[in-house]
Structure 1
Amino acid sequence: MTDFDTPYRGGFIGPEHHFALTVYFEDTDTAGVVYYANYLKFMERARSDMLRAVGVDQRDVLDGGGGAYYVAEANIRYLRPARLGDDLVVVSTVDIVRAASVQIHQRVIRGSELLTDGRVTAAFLDANGRPQRQPKEWVEKFNGIINRK
């Protein structure tokens, strides 16, 4: 039985996190094509869901006066357009884990078609905007994603 009051959550298939979504009218331009900046929003939702799925509680650290992730770099290549009503999957994998940052590879896919291919580097910054080390347990969780079979 489906619980319609529970939000959708993505999940892992090996080292890949899969996050499904549908293109709604608000996501498109006047031609019914997904507006280019909205792919970054799709990717952000998928990254946030991936972190939640491995137990990284960003809200808890932020509320405790700790640091937070900020996008330091985003590179995206647009290959094919998504359109109104399309069902998409954002596939995310962790590429590189450093002391104060993580690089995540993200692809937006429709069926078997690759629509966008991007990489995002998220830096962990303190309350004053200076880089700081990520919590050790978070680094371990990211490395655990990389090593999933």
Structure 2
Amino acid sequence: MTANLDDGLGGRLEGVRHVLTLRIYYEDTDFSGAVYHANYLRYMERGRTEILRAIGFDHRKLWETVREGFVVRRMTVDYLRPARMDDVVAITTWVHDVKQASLTLGQSVTRDGETLVTGLAVCAYVREGRPVRMPERMRKEMARTE
């Protein structure tokens, strides 16, 4: 696998899983001090972006060069426990299924080994808003992470 994680910002590959670690800030929380539910979607998006980057693909470059990229078609999320300000959480992303024009990724948000949130994202690969086959190398690299 080609990993582009040299900047220290993109997390790390652990076997077939990508792990992105981040700290929870005050701005991430609601009035009760727990992470606002929609922010978990942002964290999970970062995880999905970084697993692509780790195998050598960049959303921006794909869009700028060939006007292609992923869009979330469906996402299921299960909120189990809250994260709070100053917690350090790990967003783990793995490939659940790879098809010609779609990718299903499993994700979890954990704190010290305790699962806080789980999710499953079905992402379609599109060009000009219509599904197309993802590049063969991308599909093969994602299939290798299963």
TM over 0.5: yes
Aligned runs of 1:1-149 on 2, under 5 Å?
A: 6=7, 8-127=9-128, 129-146=129-146
2:110 aligned counterpart, secondary structure: strand
1:81 aligned counterpart, secondary structure: coil
C-alpha distance in 2, partners of 1:29/1:114? 20
Query: Taking every aligned residue pair, what percent have the same amino acid on both sides?
Result: 36
Give the C-alpha shift of residue 65 in structure 1. Answer: 3.2
What is the number of residues matched between the two proteins? 140
Give the C-alpha shift of residue 60 in structure 1. Answer: 2.1
C-alpha distance in 1, partners of 2:86/2:59? 32
Mean alpha-carbon deviation: is it higher for 134-143 or for 62-71?
62-71
**Structure 1 unaligned residues grouped into runs of 5+:** 1-5
C-alpha distance in 1, partners of 2:28/2:93? 20
Give the C-alpha shift of residue 61 in structure 1. Answer: 2.1
Give the C-alpha shift of residue 30 in structure 1. Answer: 1.1
C-alpha distance in 2, partners of 1:53/1:21? 17
2:66 aligned counterpart, secondary structure: coil
What's the TM-score, normalizing by structure 1?
A: 0.90
Letter in 2 for 1:133: R
C-alpha distance in 1, partners of 2:58/2:32? 39
**Structure 2 unaligned residues grouped into runs of 5+:** 1-6
Letter in 1 for 2:41: L
What's the TM-score, normalizing by structure 2?
A: 0.92
Matching residue of 1:3: none
Give the C-alpha shift of residue 113 in structure 1. Answer: 0.8
1:37 aligned counterpart, secondary structure: helix
